[in-house]
Amino acid sequence: MKILVTGGSGQLGSYLLEELCDGHEVRSIDIRMPSIECNKRLVSNVDIRDPVGAARACDGVEAVVHAAAQVSVEKSIQDPRMDADVNVIGTLSMLKASADADVRKFVYISSAAVYGDPRHLPVDEDHPKHPKSFYGVSKLAAEAYVQAFAECRGLNYIIVRPFNFYSPRADPKSPYSGVITKFVERAKEGSPLLIEGDGEQTRDFIHAKDVARMIRMAVESSARDVTLNCGSGQATSINDLAETLSALRGGLRIEHVKSRVGDIRHSVSDVTLAKKVLGFQSKITLEQGLSSFL
Ligand SMILES: NC(=O)c1ccc[n+]([C@@H]2O[C@H](COP(=O)([O-])OP(=O)(O)OC[C@H]3O[C@@H](n4cnc5c(N)ncnc54)[C@H](O)[C@@H]3O)[C@@H](O)[C@H]2O)c1
């Protein structure tokens, strides 16, 4: 299958290119070049908001995986217009180009941020959507456009909502990197791991490689017009995460600092539907995933 991946220079995009290249003809667009050497020949410098570039990228393509996005919650709060421009207008541009090119399937990488504070656990796909940030709003608005393109233009879609994914390819210098990346960086420099609050808050961590594998299954499956959570289905407390990393490193100092205002207390995905529709289950345990950093 000929597949276009947007955001191929990003963390998830880099695993997607590796996963999909095995058996498919893959190309990608991004506004920066990839750091992974073998992906460099696959990525062209195109902004998803550029309709001409998007149309050219979609020409002759059978499936589009749209992973490019402005991914920072903090940046979305500082500059909601920029966030909406990339995540809503950019998605709209990719949808229009895909429909015009008669693309058979559009796989949109959304986010668990669309749910906001969980009202019940685990969080299933029908859980109410009350995003707590402009980032969550822009991802939810983009989902609505994806669904409207199915109605108005007959574009088949699968929406994937990842929970917290991680990998050694997340940018450690980014102030917006996730807790695992932050912990690993501090462990490497010999600094104590800083836990915000009591550490009993939970998250659903999944390795980016597993996320890429689920997206491959979504591209290849005959399923259409469905929205699926993507997680491990396991709730891990930040205390347990710190202890696991400490055990792998032969002991680390752990300190508690002030909790973050507005932080979600517990989050874990209901992964029943992804298993039913695609047969997907995450394979990489947190311990295996953390070992790959060290
Ligand atoms: N990291 C997580 O835990 C997480 C969780 C849920 C959902 N997601 C979603 O997964 C996707 C990938 O996230 P990631 O963590 O790999 O982020 P990332 O920042 O590593 O990758 C995103 C890529 O999009 C590119 N991009 C940004 N604006 C663009 C534009 N205008 N035109 C073309 N390319 C552009 C960036 O250059 C980057 O390479 C995003 O859609 C994100 O919203 C991430």
Q: What is the mean pLDDT of residues 100-112?
A: 98
CA 67 / ligand 1 centre spacing (Å): 6
Is there an atom of ligand 1 within 6 Å of 165 CB? yes
One domain, residues 146 and 182: no
Predicted TM-score of the model (pTM):
0.97
Rounded average pLDDT over 279-283? 98
Looking at the structure, do residues 152 and 262 belong to the same domain, yes or no?
no
Average pLDDT over residues 248-276: 92
**Per-residue pLDDT tens over the stretch 215-229:** 999 999 999 999 999
217 CA distance to ligand 1 middle (Å): 20
Report the share of the chain in percent with pLDDT over 90: 92
Question: How many distinct structural domains can be found in the chain?
Answer: 2
Whether the CB of 7 sits within 6 Å of ligand 1: yes
Whether 258 is in a domain gets the answer yes
111-158 pLDDT tens trace: 999 999 999 999 999 999 999 999 999 999 999 999 999 999 999 999
Q: Are residues 111 and 222 in the same domain?
A: yes
Q: Is the pLDDT of residue 78 over 80?
A: yes
The amino acid present at 26, given as its one-letter code, is V
Name the least confident of 99-108, 163-172, 257-266: 257-266
Phi, psi of 231 (to 5 degrees): -155, -175
Query: Is residue 14 in contact with ligand 1, taking CB distance under 6 Å?
Result: no
Residue 274 inside a domain? The answer is no
pLDDT at 144: 98
**Whether residue 120 sits in one domain with residue 31:** yes
Which tokens go with 70?
Answer: 């402005």
Looking at residue 161, what is its pLDDT? 98
Within this chain, do residues 196 and 155 fall inside the same structural domain, yes or no? no
Annotated catalytic residue, options 135, 145, 157, 166: 135
Q: How far is the CA of 275 from the centre of ligand 1 (A)?
A: 25
**Domain presence at residue 276:** no
In a domain, 72, yes or no: yes
Question: How confident is the model over 258-274, as a mean pLDDT?
Answer: 90
pLDDT of residue 176: 67
CA angle at 199 for the pair 194 and 202, rounded to the nearest 5°? 120
pLDDT tens figures, 6-33? 999 999 999 999 999 999 999 999 999 9
Tell me how far CA of residue 138 lies from CA of 81, 142, 203, 269, in angstroms. 10, 6, 22, 21
- Mean pLDDT of the residues in the chain: 96
Q: Domain holding 51: CATH number?
A: 3.40.50.720
Contacts of 127 (CB under 8 A, 6+ apart): 115, 118, 119, 120
Residues 34 and 45 placed together within one structural domain of the fold: yes
Q: Are 217 and 143 found together in one domain? A: yes
**Euclidean distance between CA atoms 203 and 50, whole angstroms:** 36
- Ligand 1 centre to CA of 252 (Å) is 31
Tell me if 277 is assigned to some domain.
Answer: no
Q: Is 199 a domain residue?
A: yes
Instruction: Indicate if ligand 1 lies below 6 Å from the C-beta of 108.
Output: no
Ligand 1: which of 12, 33, 139, 167 to mutate, most ligand atoms within 8 Å of CB?
12
Question: Cβ(31) to ligand 1 under 6 A?
Answer: yes
Residue whose CA lies nearest to ligand 1 atom number 38: 10
Report the percentage of the chain scoring pLDDT > 70. Answer: 99
* 219 in the same domain as 76: yes
Residue 260 has pLDDT above 90, yes or no: no
The range of the structural domain enclosing residue 140 comes to 2-164+205-230
For residue 184, what is the domain's CATH number? 3.90.25.10
- Residue 36 shares a structural domain with residue 181: no
Active-site residue, 135 included: yes
In this predicted model, what pLDDT tens digit does every residue of 38-69 receive, in sequence order?
Answer: 889 999 999 999 999 999 999 999 999 999 99
